[in-house]
Amino acid sequence: MRPATVLGTAAATTMTALVGSVASRETDSRWYRKLRKPAFQPPAAVFPIVWTALYADIAVTSAAAIDELTERRDFGERRTYIAALTANLALNASWTWVFFRGGRLMSATAVAALLAVSSADLTRRTAVVVPAAGAALAPYAGWTGFATVLSARIAQLNR
């Protein structure tokens, strides 16, 4: 893996994490504490652990795919992959703003669903280029799918 590539994907995922964490500070707000939450919601301490691992995973697997596409000199697919990664990270960062800062539960569910579709697509794209990296990225798609179900249930419980 080229250091410049992994530094670039690490910077992008770190920025996503920082932007999202600013909005997620609202977990201490009165509004959030009053929300009804489903029994299957993990404890609050789980989220930063899972997201940190997933952001590291995204950075490494995406760098592997980008480097492989560069090595293959498939610059068109490389541009498409980077665009898909960028869109995914933008959706990722935006969910916390829609949910925590906006308090828009149905809209947050829609963003989560778009993120889940985008994450599955990014996983697929990665697997096509570097199968082992695609397998390593699969938990991200799974987690964002779970986040969609969780968001939808919170929205349902708090109509």
The pLDDT, as a whole number, for residue 77 is: 98
Amino acid at site 53: A
52: left (phi over 0), alpha (psi -120 to 50) or beta: alpha
Mean pLDDT of all residues in 81-89: 98
Q: Is the dihedral of CA 3, 76, 130, 55 positive or negative?
A: positive
CA distance 62 to 72: 15
Is the separation of the CB atoms in 152 and 109 below 8 Å?
yes
pLDDT for res 111: 98
Q: Give alpha helix (H) positions in the chain.
A: 3-24, 30-34, 46-71, 75-96, 105-129, 131-157
pLDDT of 1: 86
Cα 9 from chain centroid (whole Å):
13
Give the residue-averaged pLDDT of 11-38: 90
Angle made by CA atoms 21, 40, 54, in degrees to the nearest 5: 40
CATH number at residue 20: 1.20.1260.100
**Cα 130 to Cα 32, 107, 124, distances in angstroms:** 40, 34, 10
Mean pLDDT of 56-64: 98
Query: What is the band of 26 on the pLDDT scale with cuts at 50, 70, 90?
Result: low
Domain range enclosing 83: 3-157
Measure the CA–CA gap between 122 and 138, rounded to whole angstroms: 9
Q: How confident is the model at residue 136 (pLDDT cuts 50, 70, 90)?
A: very high
Q: Token digits for 88?
A: 């995914």
The total domain count for the chain is: 1
Confidence of residue 29 (pLDDT cuts 50, 70, 90): confident
